[in-house]
Structure 1
Amino acid sequence: MSTTEPRGHLLVPLYVHPSVDPEAWEVLAGESGRLYGVVLNAADGPGPYPDPAFTAAAARLRRAGVPLLGYVDTAYGARPARTVLRDVHRHRRWYGADGVFLDRVAADAASLPRYRRTVRAARLLGAATAVLNPGTHPDPRYAHLADLLVTFEGRWEDYRRAAVPEWTRSHPPYRFCHLVYAVPEHLGGEAARTAHERGAAVHCAVPGRGANPWRSAPLAADACGGEAG
């Protein structure tokens, strides 16, 4: 697990196909200095076979120096470990992913051993960065498993009322991430400042709504908020 501060403060789940919105991918290639990473999600994971459009888009981001994280669904611990690790391997082999974004992570203490084994195995497969997304504050011991822990994923209206438990203060801010959607475009800067004030050095805020709000990945730097002061 890395103990150094990340180079960027934006983690962007880019859940839109390059052929549908190529501009989103091109814009992010120019934001490499501000990006913690971009989450690749070809088909709720790497897909059953390499996607040429994703291969090309991922290569452009890599050339621009953007860290890539492969999306892997863990179904709150219900997916078999071999299936999860197969997806990790495919992201690495097909798209050159630098790390892994484990989604729908369980938050309870009983699941800790399973995720500890998963993260260790993912690193052996070449995942230099491991991000866990329970989408809420889990058992505090999850903070020791990964490089980055997503402790909020949800709507802006819910985020405005969200609380932060005291235990997070014992960890540096660059270990936490908040992902917020349905953010009014004129409040992107406020969302960034809120994440900073709540001890999360990494964040993303998008205006998207519906079943896949992350299809509206930022088309400009200020769409994911301004600098957190």
Structure 2
Amino acid sequence: MRTVLPLYVHPLDAPTAWQAERLGDVTVVVNVHDGPGKKPSAVYEVVLAQLAEGGVPLLGYVDLAYVSRPLADILEEIERWAAYRVNGIFFHAAPTSPFGLGPVSMAIRVARGFGLRDLILNPGEPTDPVYRDLDVPICTFEGSWQDYQRWPPKGSQPGDGHLVYGVPTDKVDAARRLMLLRHAGFGLATDLDLPHPYAGLPASMGELSPTP
């Protein structure tokens, strides 16, 4: 199972969280203040180059806002990510209705056109089956450990992603086992919790390396 770690903390605020030797082959989602900004950030350029050279897979964060954002803004943000050392895009707040398929499909085509091939859709819940035709991994659960335990994975498929936060540290292994039983292909079990579940490395990061 591939571990995907949203790392929504600035490198200057948590420098140790951005060390390639600690991250290994964990896929890191980079959120530069909800987007890469109008101009490349010198700090992120340096840090992402170091991680890329260390073999850490990197995804840029793009908020689709359930396609309530203007499509032009989404496409411009994808283009700005292409200036960074990232392998692909993590599309957050992806829609689940078939009526949102057009803008999402366009965003995916544009990302691939820029060579950003490693893509993830994150609606945080199951989508309409039509999204499967996009051939992009889908994160069909994002929520608390409490909710994950009672979640009926209807509409989820083997290989989908599960992001689970608020897991008691002594339950991280149990959370990962449940993810595997539910055939998650990628995701995260973290002991960090709301309001900032992705504010840095989980205390249990050592147990979050990909499991065969």
CA contact (8 A) 2:3 2:188 kept: yes
Give the AA of the match of 2:50. R
Q: Does 1:195 align with 2:175?
A: no
Counterpart of 1:22 (choices 11, 15, 25) is: 15
Question: Would you say 1:32 and 2:12 are equivalent positions?
Answer: no
Q: Where do 1:1-229 residues align within 5 Å?
A: 9-26=2-19, 28-33=20-25, 35=26, 37-93=27-83, 95-165=84-154, 168=157, 172-173=158-159, 176-218=160-202, 221-222=205-206, 224=208, 228=211
How far residue 165 of structure 1 moved from its aligned partner, in angstroms, is 1.8
Counterpart amino acid of residue 132 in structure 1: L
Structure 1 residue 223: Cα displacement? 5.1
Once residues 7 and 135 of structure 2 are traced to their aligned partners in structure 1, the CA distance between those partners, rounded to angstroms, is 21
Q: SS at the partner of 2:44? A: helix
Indicate the structure with greater helix content.
1
Cα deviation for residue 219 of structure 1 reads 5.3
CA distance in structure 1 between the aligned counterparts of 2:61 and 2:210, rounded to whole angstroms: 26
Describe the shift of the 1:191–1:185 C-alpha distance in structure 2 as closer, same or farther (beyond 3 A). Answer: same
2:3 and 2:210 in contact (8 A); partners too:
no
Task: Assess, with a 3 A threshold, how the Cα gap between structure 1 residues 18 and 193 changes in structure 2: closer, same or farther.
Answer: same
Q: What secondary structure does 1:200 align onto?
A: coil
Which of the pair has the greater relative contact order for Cα pairs under 8 Å at 6+ separation?
Answer: 2
The count of aligned residue pairs is 212
TM-score of the superposition, structure 2-length normalised? Answer: 0.91
- 1:133 CA drift (Å): 0.3
* RMSD after superposition: 1.9
Structure 1 gaps, min length 5: 1-7
Pick closer, same or farther for the CA change 1:53–1:105 going to 2, 3 Å.
same
> Mean alpha-carbon deviation: is it higher for 215-224 or for 205-214?
215-224
Match of 1:71, SS state, is strand
- Deviation track 1:25-75 (CA, whole Å, cap 9, x = no partner) reads 11x544433x2x210111111123222221111111101111111000111
For 1:166 and 1:135, how far apart are their aligned partners in 2?
12
Kindly report structure 1 stretches of 4+ aligned residues shifted beyond 4 Å: 226-229
- Residues 12, 204 of structure 1: 8 Å contact kept: yes
Identity value in percent: 34
